[in-house]
Structure 1
């Protein structure tokens, strides 16, 4: 029996065929070290990297002056951003309750060193949405120095109002960093029209590229300290890292094979404007049918227009990992279970007695028939 893959929030799978073809081709014909030689193959690799930077900026609606920094993953990007800021003990850092450990563990690491304060942004617990009036009040009481936001929750699929919160934060001169790992390529963003300073992306998620490439977009308003050091292929006699972006934050050899895959994914011609609509329709279809099953509880934003294709739920009498094991072993359906590396939101979901949630991640290649199979499986499990 063929496996039904419903863990697209962890990584989208499969990838578009053009991604596999591009990676295979460059691995065989052009996987050389970009920026380290004047020969044609090295120049071609450098050109591919720069063109991919341009594609990312265009997709994110960023100005030409913005810089795209490539890293090995979104987690590395979060480390570069938070490790590059000038921290003080008096800093006030606000985080959303939806943050992933890619941000939270890094932030906790620096809090232990510098002693700054971390405050959760206010949440409307009935709607599981950000409470904008209360957030404005929070900022008036304790002015933000840094604000960290997920664009999309990897647990509930909720799309955070990043533009509005950024506008509030900028009134106090705060640095704003957004984790767009679950968003870029799926949820529209226009960086040139907001005050976001850093926007993180993950190549292997909603961009439909491979593992091994992620990064962030910098508006250029904040200068980061180099967090990592090493060879860049230029100014080699200088013991210091280059002073210009993006080279100052990109030591080591670029993963040209992964970047080629990302380049192909960005240029594959899919209709990104309709992709979010389709995911929402499938997620609403799934949540509606799951809610009809006795003993199943859905963790889903009330407003369907504020969510993506992520549906999380629990079943009375079962721990999340038990449900995941049954789905895998008896029905050949792959889902994610547990706490999804999101340490803050679960106290609001009150899902600790279930050991977290069962998460369904809908993607570009998810079929309605696959969701029907999942619904039938959940009915059988819930009935015991």
Structure 2
């Protein structure tokens, strides 16, 4: 195999890398010894596969303070989980509130439901830093509002929304709350009971440090979703309809046992390191990056300013430089991996005033070092001088 050059990886908001060694070992062990179908047989390998799945479910329940692990359904990613939550809950004529910093994994299902089921949608505007006003959310509530969706942290701006306050407001009006935890799971403390979260969509491959192709949805016991995929579940196989029992109702087909085994190891790693310690490290690195980049002529940083709470994302634009071109230069000449473009969140770019250009996004993870951050700052400084 050809030896790859070293890379300074600053694209953790897309997928975290590298993975902890226990994650790699768990995937390998599952492939070697636990690759039978979970829940589909009584032989020892099938039973062991089922045990691996349930242990990961228990770890996630501990992380998110979920009382019953079976209220967590596995999905291929956050997008699949959000689609299940939105399309499985919203009916014709319902009104949904979402924010102007939502990912296309929320916006596109909502636009689909607007077209097909005459669902009404209000996107609550955010300020330039990506923060959504509680008053504006309150003003958006209608008699037929059934669901509110909030991005816990913006994948463009790093902004952290006040989920608990939004949840309390929704409870007053009998509206259910769906939280997109794509950028917060494993980084911000999440207690679904204490925070009043009715559904929580999360990825396995970002802050939880697991493999790609993993994720899930927490569904409050009072909520019954219409599954958007039907098929074999290993339970009630004689019935023509999808079973009501959880989590089988939402997990048709063979689960990704090796991926979920790796996710379980990632969750264990996060629990041992603690969410608070991981956040503190990433926040400190983010502040260091912002301080360094802010000294570059012509640069504009997006999202909350220095010293404010945010996740490990720093997006920026440099006057006169196309973000895609800068990303290419950083990769090819400096070995630095960042993301450029519109990041699947055009409404957030409207809030940030970058609809015409997109932005460069650098994002740190729990294995990022100060040297990684300093290398990016130095590279951007050097590149900027060629465009002055």
Range into which the TM-score falls when normalised by the shorter chain: over 0.9
Q: Which runs of 5+ in 1 are unaligned?
A: none
Inter-partner Cα distance in structure 2 for 1:123 and 1:358? 20
Offset at 1:111? 1.2
Paired position in structure 2 for 1:291: 294
Inter-partner Cα distance in structure 2 for 1:160 and 1:66? 27
Partner of 1:306, secondary structure, is coil
**Deviation per residue, 1:105-125 (Å, 9 max, x gap):** 111111111122211224233
2:317–2:359 Cα contact (<8 Å) kept: yes
**Deviation per residue, 1:330-372 (Å, 9 max, x gap):** 1111100011111211112111332x01000100111111111
Are 2:31 and 1:27 equivalent residues in the alignment? yes
RMSD: 1.5
Task: Name the TM-score, length of structure 1 as normaliser.
Answer: 0.95
Paired position in structure 2 for 1:181: 182
Inter-partner Cα distance in structure 1 for 2:187 and 2:51? 26
2:10–2:362 Cα contact (<8 Å) kept: yes
2:130–2:348 Cα contact (<8 Å) kept: no
Partner of 2:47, secondary structure, is helix
Are 2:132 and 1:158 equivalent residues in the alignment? no
Partner of 2:145, secondary structure, is coil
Paired position in structure 2 for 1:77: 81
1:213–1:258 Cα contact (<8 Å) kept: yes
Paired position in structure 2 for 1:98: 101
Inter-partner Cα distance in structure 1 for 2:132 and 2:356? 25
Paired position in structure 2 for 1:228: 229
Residue pairs, 1:82-231, within 5 angstroms: 82-89=86-93, 91-125=94-128, 127-139=129-141, 144-231=145-232
2:126–2:132 Cα contact (<8 Å) kept: yes
**Deviation per residue, 1:296-337 (Å, 9 max, x gap):** 110021364420110000000011101101111111111000
Are 2:20 and 1:3 equivalent residues in the alignment? no
2:57–2:70 Cα contact (<8 Å) kept: no
Inter-partner Cα distance in structure 2 for 1:358 and 1:311? 8
Residue pairs, 1:329-368, within 5 angstroms: 329-354=332-357, 356-368=358-370
Q: Which runs of 5+ in 2 are unaligned?
A: none
| Pair 1:271–1:197, CA change in 2 (3 A) | closer
Paired position in structure 1 for 2:249: 248
**Deviation per residue, 1:192-220 (Å, 9 max, x gap):** 11322110110001100001211111111
Partner of 1:145, secondary structure, is strand
Offset at 1:128? 3.1
Offset at 1:132? 1.9
Offset at 1:169? 1.5
More deviation, 38-47/201-210: 38-47
Offset at 1:142? 6.4
1:309–1:362 Cα contact (<8 Å) kept: yes
Paired position in structure 1 for 2:276: 273
Paired position in structure 1 for 2:18: 14
| Pair 1:21–1:40, CA change in 2 (3 A) | same
Inter-partner Cα distance in structure 1 for 2:366 and 2:195? 28
Offset at 1:143? 6.2
Offset at 1:380? 1.1
| Pair 1:310–1:378, CA change in 2 (3 A) | same
**Deviation per residue, 1:209-238 (Å, 9 max, x gap):** 001211111111211112110111122222
More deviation, 248-257/45-54: 45-54
| Pair 1:43–1:303, CA change in 2 (3 A) | same
Inter-partner Cα distance in structure 2 for 1:179 and 1:116? 20
Paired position in structure 1 for 2:310: 307
Task: Name the TM-score, length of structure 2 as normaliser.
Answer: 0.94
Inter-partner Cα distance in structure 2 for 1:124 and 1:208? 31
2:125–2:351 Cα contact (<8 Å) kept: no
Inter-partner Cα distance in structure 1 for 2:136 and 2:33? 56
Partner of 1:124, secondary structure, is coil
Of residues 63, 67, 72, the one that matches 1:63 is 67
Paired position in structure 1 for 2:385: 383
| Pair 1:213–1:365, CA change in 2 (3 A) | same
1:66–1:219 Cα contact (<8 Å) kept: no
Inter-partner Cα distance in structure 1 for 2:178 and 2:102? 11
Of residues 318, 321, 324, the one that matches 2:321 is 318
